[in-house]
Structure 1
Amino acid sequence: MFRRMFWFLTGAVTGVWATVKVNRAVRRLSPDSLAATAADRALETGARLRLFARDVRAGMAQREGELHDALGLKVHDQPPALPAAEEHPGLTARNTDVPAARRGITYNAYDRKDEH
């Protein structure tokens, strides 16, 4: 009698355990869960890349300072300013905010002269 009850309870516990495991796997492998997991990992990877880039920039700045000190070069606080467009008459800025028709650009798809 005790032997049958033991095996019955063992089977019941095993069945409940297996059901819980299968339900968790089904939930974990659902499309919504997979998408959320992928998004979380992408955000985590992006954060790690940003930290790496920041560390690299800090190391580069430190090494550049060491090289400047070793070579006795003068360190400028800011890079030299670029010349303005007004100083160079050949350089004009293109206005891309204005629609093409107002800038004098016309295009008619029916004016093509394709030879068939």
Structure 2
Amino acid sequence: MSKERARRRAEREAERARAMRLNEQRQARAARRRARLARLIPRPVRVARQGGLLARRRRARNVVVLLGFLLVQTLVWLIWGSAFLSFGVLVFSLLLAPVLVTLAFDRRI
């Protein structure tokens, strides 16, 4: 009887060792695949938004400038409706916007 138990125990241990070997091979293959993918596909870079007072002011200023620009373009398009005049006001606004932003928001003046 003890020889039979010893043989079954040896079979169980051999099966357990084979299963462990297969599991290790599977894990090694998965690790190699993950490493290969990590080399091929760059990880996304998270750009954090600055949250200080100056950054908030700059964002608010940019929103005001953009809304003003869009308001002027919309009013010209609604009031006159001419494509040529709308294009002219667009070009003039693009040239004049930096000057107005500097005059309105520059603290050195």
Alignment TM class, shorter chain as reference: 0.3 to 0.5
Higher normalized contact order (CA 8 Å, seq sep 6+, divided by chain length): 2
Which has the larger share of helix?
A: 2
Q: TM-score, normalised by structure 2?
A: 0.36
